[in-house]
Amino acid sequence: MMRSVVLMLALGWVAIAGAQNIDSLMRRAGMVDVGAMDTTIIVRLMYASEDNFVGEDMYGELRKAYLHPEAAEALLKAAEALRRERSDLRLLVKDAARPMSVQRQMYAKVRGTAAAPYVSNPARGGGLHNYGLAVDVTLADMHGCELPMGTPVDHLGPEANIDRERELVERGVITPTERANRELLRRAMRSAGFMPLRSEWWHFNLRSRAVAKSRYKVIE
């Protein structure tokens, strides 16, 4: 019995240390905690659970959403723009800055599968998440409940494409309300300088990959 208790405590300390290590890594890389900068922004990291397309917890006990300061400031502007248009809604961050070490683990799990195109290859420099310049975000009500967007965040398939939404509505794949919610999210994010990703309605980049590689540092 005592041995089991000691093992459980040891595992708990390992989990806490892992979260602290990622926190420290983010801060050393110059990233900032978005949730601490604006408490109206809800943070619920999907890779801190098994509820994601990988099906595994990639972040452990990490619960904070870190971004490059420029991206964080832009997200605060997007949150303010959303509140001006809909004071009853909030931004909900599902993923933000991601260390390259996690990117390698994620890519290894999907390599050779249909999901591989959705994960930036770390051998080619990774993606904008690895610079803290990308954010996965959706809309939520005042209680933190996600608004219907036609697909869940992290859905892999054409139903998540933003350039086919009119067709998706006409075919009954998504509803007019779900399309309007996506458009509202894009208006708020674009007003702050973010660029949407064609294949994922929830993904927004602050900079292009070329600019990121030339001017910013990867989070190792």
- The secondary structure of 133-149, three-state, reads CEEEEEEEECCCCECCC
Do 151 and 136 form a contact (C-beta atoms < 8 A)?
no
Q: pLDDT tens for the chain, 220 residues: list them.
A: 434 433 333 333 333 334 458 888 999 999 999 999 999 999 999 999 998 988 899 998 889 999 999 999 999 999 999 999 999 999 999 999 999 999 999 999 999 888 888 899 998 889 999 999 999 999 999 999 999 999 999 999 999 999 999 999 999 999 999 999 999 999 999 999 999 999 999 999 999 999 999 999 999 9
Q: How far apart are CA 191 and CA 194, in angstroms?
A: 7
With H, G, I as helix, E, B as strand and everything else as coil, classify residue 198: coil
Q: Estimate the crossing angle of helix 69-85 against helix 176-191, to 10 degrees.
A: 130
Q: Who contacts 54 (Cβ-Cβ below 8 Å, separation ≥6)?
A: 47, 106, 109, 110, 115
CA 159 centroid distance within chain:
19
Q: What is the pLDDT of residue 200?
A: 97
Residue 36: enclosing H or E segment and its boundaries? helix 34-37
Beta bridge partners of 91: 139
Q: What is the pLDDT of residue 179?
A: 98
Q: What is the pLDDT of residue 18?
A: 44
Q: What is the pLDDT of residue 10?
A: 35
pTM of the full predicted structure? 0.89
